[in-house]
Amino acid sequence: MAIGPVTLYAVVAVAPSVLFWCTLKVPALVRRWRRRREPEIPSGPPIEKLAADLRRVHRLLAELPPGASAVRRYGTRQAYDALLVQACREVEVDHRLDSLPEGFGREIERLRVEESLAERGLSVS
């Protein structure tokens, strides 16, 4: 079975285009395949450490003495809110803690976020 001149012409005409396409596309395909096989690197601390920090700061907030300064109360609440926001990001819970001002609305949002985190298995108290 001999290769006919038309088949040979088709191979010679198409081969450079195929080789050029392969040199452009194959490295990108290999990179994508390798990235997919690599484990995902977490963006923050381990969830266990985050949960321990949340419980510790929650306990500090609850045990503040009545005579504690307003600055200390505010700082502890801000640290607690920052940990709540980080936990929400890790377990994909929606929150509005960054957009609400200090006050009753933010307290309610803290309680809602704590409950949502508990439903996802991250108990704060």
Would you say residue 114 has pLDDT above 90?
Answer: yes
What is the average per-residue pLDDT within 6-25?
85
Could you tell me the pTM of the whole model?
0.66
Q: Is the pLDDT of residue 41 over 80?
A: no
Residues 6 or more apart whose Cβ sits within 8 Å of residue 4: none
- Give the start-to-end residue ranges of the domains of the chain: 1-41, 47-119
Q: Which residues of 11-23 are buried (b: 16+ CB within 10 A; e: fewer)?
A: eeeeeeeeeeeee
pLDDT in tens, 42-78: 677 888 999 999 999 999 999 999 899 999 999 999 9
**Does residue 116 surpass a pLDDT of 90?**
yes
What does the alpha-carbon distance between residue 17 and residue 37 come to, in Å, rounded to a whole number?
A: 30
Per-residue confidence band for 84, with pLDDT thresholds at 50, 70 and 90? very high
What pLDDT sits at residue 118?
A: 92
